[in-house]
Amino acid sequence: MPTIKTNEGPAWRKRTPLKQWLVWAGWLIGLCIAVYAWQLISEKTIWMFVFDAPSQMADIGKRMAPPDWSYMSKLWRPVWDTLNIATIGTAIAMVLAVPVAFLAAHNTTPHKSVRAAMLFIIVASRSVNSLIWALLLVVIVGPGVLAGTIAIGIRSIGGCAKLIYESIEEIDQKQVEAIKATGGSRAQQMIYGIVPQILPTIAGVGVFRWDINVRGSTILGIVGAGGIGIQLNASINVLAWTQVSTILIVILGTVFVSEYISAKVRGAII
């Protein structure tokens, strides 16, 4: 126990002197990084605009109130589209993610090279934001809901497959061995030994991803890929701030509802 000597005898200290110095050094390095990063950012900032921000906020805040409720009637369709992008996108992703996960997990993969290829697919799909996928897909399939759906689908494959393959790797191998002992083929081992163990995970991952995707699909409209983002972008561009606040409230409501549903369903499954 690290102590220091005082007039009243040894007193307790949290760390030994060396450890304490190391902790201080860590803080110093962190501080240096922060200062350096801050300098780079502040070089590119026009501080006049930043100091002007409070008055801008007050101004836009004033213009946003009260929300234009009459605009709500035009928002049901975009909300429906947004939810469809999220749901169908998640469905596409799950259909593709399950085989990818099986090929990626080290206990079910046919070969190491297949595993490496699948891990690359997972990383590539996860690293690129759905907005970037949407940007590319709008060029390919044209603006609209389809581009958004595919974008959400591609982005979600990696996220879902990663969680599923990790759970495949953590299964109880004894059950698979039991099926093998009865003379089950490789396919039967998978269906009766592995799938029942990971089915709750698959369902949970799907619902969890859907919740994330509802949030993600609200912004795809900014690059023209359908959903409520189109209205948001249009209203901001024409400075119709009362409409913007209505849209924000609708997004807030949609996300809260989806989060509630996802939490309820996950609670029921797990």
Partner 1 sequence: MNQEASHYAETWKKPHFIKSSFLRYSIYLATIAYFFLAIYTMEVNWTRVAEGIPRGADMISKFFPPDLSDSRGVILDGILESIWMAVIATIGGILLSVPIGLGAARNLAPTWIYLFCRGIIAVSRTFPAVILAIFSVKFFGFGPFAGFVALSIETIGFFAKLLAEDIENMSKSQAEAVRATGASWLQWINYAIQPQVLPRMIGLSMYRLDINFRESAVVGIVGAGGIGAHLLTSVQRYEYATTATVLISIIAIVITLEYTSGYLRKWVQ
Binding mask 153-182 for partner 1 (x = CB under 8 A): ------------------------------
134 near 151, Cβ under 8 Å? yes
Written as six digits, the tokens of 206 are 């799907």
Residues between 69 and 88 with contacts to partner 1, criterion CB under 8 A: 80-81, 84, 87-88
Residues between 197 and 216 with contacts to partner 1, criterion CB under 8 A: 199, 203, 215-216
Distance CA 77, CA 86 (A): 14
Binding region for partner 1 (CB under 8 A) out of 29-37, 67-75, 108-116, 167-175:
29-37
Of the residues 131, 190, 234, 240, which one makes contact with partner 1 according to CB under 8 A: 131
Determine if 45 is a binding residue for partner 1 (CB under 8 A). Answer: yes
Determine if 60 is a binding residue for partner 1 (CB under 8 A). Answer: yes
Catalog residues that contact partner 1 under the rule CB under 8 A: 14, 30, 33-34, 36-38, 40-42, 44-46, 49-50, 52-53, 56-57, 60, 80-81, 84, 87-88, 91, 123-124, 126-129, 131-132, 135-136, 139-142, 144-146, 149, 192, 196, 199, 203, 215-216, 218-219, 222-223, 232, 236, 248, 251-252, 255-256
